A and B are shown apart, each in its own frame.
Chain A
Amino acid sequence: MSTPQPPMPQSAAAEWPAAPGAAPSAPAYPTYTSPIPVVRTHLGHALASEWTKIRSVRSTMWTLGVLVALVVGIGLLTGLVIANADPDLGGESPLSLGFFGLLLGSMCLITLGVLTTASEYGTGMIRTTMVACPSRGRVLAAKALVFFLVAFVVTLVCASVVGLLHVSLLEEYNAAEPTGEEWLKGTVGVSLYLALLGTLSLAVGSIVRHSAGAITIMIAAVLAPLVIALFMFSSSLRDVQQALFEYSIPNQMSIFYANSLSESGPSDWDPLWIMLAVTAAALAGAFALLKKRDV
């Protein structure tokens, strides 16, 4: 490796005469003035650098690729299988078929969200990050914003493509033409919901500081309530079982397709507000901990 000897082209050296060790009694210290312009950094800088981080690592690109493949692939498959069966859909909305792909895709969003924060603790990168931007809140905000936007846009595109696909595939089998509101909920609504779920994972990753641990927690949070509810046989627990079921993440997701697995419980846009509140609370917690703890 070649090593060019003199470092940067500088002029400041000339201003400082030799023998700095002479210990001047009045601290007439030398000063170095960089030619690089002084910049007051703001959130924009943090956003730009977080965006570079996300796009410059292959694993994040892979995770997003898997997300697209899962949502679109499964969507296409269910569409084709149903169309092949030559059914009579009896005026049901075909959008709801996108649910399965998105449910699996949510695992990718959870993974990516967690990795955005927790993986930096694994590699020690977090120290570089915090040295570059000592305002810890700004770092977390930038990560959350960049991730949320990426997750939302990718999910929205996938959900829309799958929706269009299903509508065109199943038109002839007496499927309903989705209304504007149904389109809005089945694309924008569910994408916002999933992007928030990913952001919640990001906050959990920042709190737990361990990728595998945080991913496990989040996947458990998605699946455990349903599984637990399934095994609650005692009738005295009926109410708990019902609540677990209704507020489980898969059921909340299905509400965006208006074919909730249950009749009572959250409806319409409720799941979005619930997820928004939970994510905000988790981010607030992550922020407080980030401020308090050593990096």
Chain B
Amino acid sequence: MIELEGLTKRYGEKVAVDNLTFTVRPGIVTGFLGPNGAGKSTTMRMILGLDHPTAGDVRVDGTHYDRLKDPLTNIGALLEAKGVHPGRSAQNHLLWLAQSNGIPERRVREVLDEVGLTAVARKKAKGFSLGMGQRLGIAAALLGDPRILMFDEPVNGLDPEGIHWIRTLMKSLAEQGRTVFVSSHLMSEMALTADHLVVIGQGRLLADTSMAEFIERNSRSYVRVRTPQREALLDALHRAGVTAVDGADGTLEVDGTPAEAIGELAARNGVVLHELSPQQASLEEAFMQLTAESVEYHAHTGAPLPPQQQQQWGESWRKG
């Protein structure tokens, strides 16, 4: 279990993590989501006692990290930066780690085997591909067979098979009763792995909810309608007690009414339709809306911003 209480980190003027309070529970996979620069890695570094919090507190199984006597058997972590000397072999990297925590040396072989690096155990880390480096980091996290596992963007650089492997690994680790805390930018990835979601933006907590609840609230379906007779259609819909909102490119979006009903209504009123299509908002969109205001590093591609009315409804389930 990891408990954060009002955790705050300031780098000079910059507030990287802002008053975060949440708990990461054992037995489930908790996804930690946020756009670039949201403060995910900083939060994880504070959990591990690497960065000192400006304010607030964080405990690992009730203890401050730096009080742990054999930290690697309590918590294993894969951090953002590789943290491996390029000139050292995978095996020796794991060996010094094992020695530092009095972990039996046979574990080195076991975890190498588990992540599939046995064949390159004696190769220097500098020759490793992105994915192999990531696997070595995961091997290091698993070395002490810890109760808590923390991964900072573990699927970075992994091929589809590797991604599938990580997913299965995280789920099975959680099933064994361990605490699994994993950060990502990808809502779609988390939807497949995480049981619980913590979303942050610009260091602030935006959501702390179960995955099921998030999906239920955000799998919004609506019908997109395009017509040259906009006023006539709006009138007809209004009379039928159906509300429509403006969508992108002059379309209308209708919630809670099936496409068939809208088509028949239009036919009865002699309104021409150019498009009538059922839509499903993806979780990715929901995540983007949620974090829209707190995205720090916008790309300037001239892409339209998310429709305005949608921004408000992210608000309704926002907590913290």
**Chain A residues packing against B (C-beta within 8 Å):** 1-8, 10, 12-13, 15-16, 20-21, 23, 29-41, 45-46, 48-50, 52-53, 56-59, 119-120, 123-135, 294-295
Q: Which of B27, B69, B165, B196 contacts A41 (CB 8 A)?
A: B69
B95 touches A52 (CB 8 A): yes
CA distance A235 to B235 in the complex (A): 102
**Chain A min CB distance to B149 (Å):** 10
Which are the 5 A-B pairs with shortest beta-carbon distances? A39-B102, A30-B177, A20-B27, A124-B81, A56-B92
A21 touches B28 (CB 8 A): yes
In the complex, the answer to whether A131 meets B172 with C-beta atoms within 8 Å is no
Within the complex, the shortest CB–CB distance from A30 to chain B, in Å, comes to 4
Q: Is B250 an interface residue (CB 8 A)?
A: no
Q: Please choose the segment from B49-57, B220-228, B254-262 that sits at the chain A interface, where 4 or more of its residues have CB less than 8 A away.
A: B49-57
Q: Can you list 12 residue pairs at the A/B interface with Cβ under 8 Å?
A: A4-B116, A13-B177, A16-B175, A36-B73, A45-B100, A53-B88, A123-B82, A125-B85, A128-B83, A128-B140, A131-B48, A131-B49
* B96 partner, pick from A1, A21, A56, A127, beta carbons under 8 A: A56
Interface of A is mostly: loop
Q: Are A2 and B116 touching (Cβ within 8 A)?
A: yes
**Chain A min CB distance to B210 (Å):** 6
Contact B101 A45 (CB under 8 A): yes
Residue B176 at the A interface, CB < 8 A? yes
Complexed CA–CA distance, A10 and B147 (Å): 12
Q: Are B100 and A133 in contact (CB under 8 A)?
A: yes
Q: What residues of A have a CB within 8 angstroms of the CB of B103 in the complex?
A: 36, 39
Q: Is the CB of A3 within 8 A of B116?
A: yes
User: A124 to B45, alpha carbons, bound, how many Å?
Assistant: 13
| A36-B107, A36-B144, A127-B79 given; A132·B100 CB < 8 A | yes
Q: Min CB distance, A205 to chain B, in Å?
A: 15
CB contacts (< 8 Å) of B140 on chain A: these are: 128
B65, B169, B176, most chain A CB atoms within 10 A: B176
Using A41-B100, A123-B86 as known contacts, say yes or no to A7 and B173 having CB atoms under 8 A apart.
yes
CB-defined contacts of A128 to chain B, threshold 8 Å: 79, 83-84, 97, 140
Interface size class of B (residues with CB under 8 A): 35 or more
Q: Are A8 and B26 in contact (CB under 8 A)?
A: no
A135 to B135, CA, bound (A): 27
**B33 in the interface (beta carbon within 8 A):** no
Q: Once the chains are docked, how many angstroms separate the CA of A119 from the CA of B168?
A: 36
Residues of B within 8 A of A124 (CB): 79, 81-84
Indicate whether B155 reaches chain A with its CB closer than 8 angstroms. no
Residues of B within 8 A of A10 (CB): 176
Interface hits, B91-150 → A, CB 8 Å = 92, 95-97, 99-104, 107, 110, 113-117, 119, 135, 140, 142, 144-147
Q: Are B99 and A36 in contact, with the CB atoms below 8 A?
A: no
* B52 and A132 contact, CB distance less than 8 A: no
Q: State A35–B106 Cα separation when bound (angstroms).
A: 13
Inter-chain CA distance A49–B70, complex, in Å, is: 14
Q: Name the A residues within 8 Å of B267 (CB-CB).
A: none
Candidate in A120, A126, A127, A132 with the most chain B CB atoms within 10 angstroms: A132
Residues of B within 8 A of A120 (CB): 85
Give the distance to chain B from A138, nearest Cβ to Cβ, in Å. 10
Known interface pairs A7-B114, A40-B70, A130-B49. Does A53 touch B96 (Cβ–Cβ under 8 Å)?
Answer: yes
Set A1, A21, A35: member contacting B145, Cβ < 8 A: A35
Q: How far is the CA of A59 from the CA of B126 in the complex (A)?
A: 14
Residue of B nearest to A35 (CB): B145
Chain A residue at smallest Cβ distance from B177: A30
A36, B177: Cβ atoms closer than 8 Å: no
Task: Identify A132's interface contact among B72, B119, B145, B195, CB under 8 A.
Answer: B72
A129 CA to B86 CA, complexed, in Å: 15
